[in-house]
Homo-oligomer: A and B are copies of this chain.
Amino acid sequence: MTTLDQGNETRSRILAAARELFAQRGYAATSLADIAAAVGLTKTAVAYHFHPKDRLAAELITPAAEDLLTLLGTEFPDGREFLRAFADFAVRHRAVARLLIEDIGGADDAPPGSPGEAIRTFRDEFYAKVAGPDPSPGMRIRAWAALGSVHTGVVKTIDLPEDLVRETLVAAALAVYDS
């Protein structure tokens, strides 16, 4: 079954290249041709494996998305504790964090598996959980600032050890929250 193995291997090579490119430039700014060039294929070959382009992002996101649904599902005593869990989540899935947080939200369809749709504009859901109900102006600002610190903190430090990033970012986010 050499044929099948070949297919699965290039499939994962495409996924790896796409993950990197999406992380660097964002989903919309990365074309199929870019990905194809990175793997040494034609853009048609890439389209063969992942039929609408969405599937590529969907497949990359799926594990993180499931994790995210449970995160949004569990109850937290307050925004502070949710923020801690969020930072942990973001670091755990940092390879697809940008894809997950920035680029979806105006997305079209959900992963194929699937967790259904319901994954849409969670950036706003994150905010709502951190800020809490009927937040004061000051809390609104701090909630967004905390989310932003985690987001760019995670995205810009993919080369650093995961544990250090988690530890530092949790502390940073909580510092914002308590400021």
B-contacting residues of A (Cβ < 8 Å)?
A: 28-29, 127, 137-138, 140-142, 144-153, 155-157, 160-161, 164-165, 168-169, 171-176, 178-179
Q: How many copies does the complex hold?
A: 2
Question: A148's contact among B29, B149, B168, by CB below 8 Å, is which?
Answer: B149
Question: DSSP majority for the A interface?
Answer: helix
Which residues of B lie under 8 Å from residue A172 when comparing CB positions? Answer: 141-142, 145-146, 149, 176, 179
Q: With A145-B150, A147-B152, A148-B149 in contact, is A168–B28 under 8 Å at CB?
A: no
CB pair B160 A171 closer than 8 Å: no
A173 contacts across to B, CB distance below 8 A: 145
| In the complex, residue of chain B having the shortest beta-carbon distance to the beta carbon of A127 | B156
Distance A165 CA – B160 CA, assembled complex (angstroms): 31
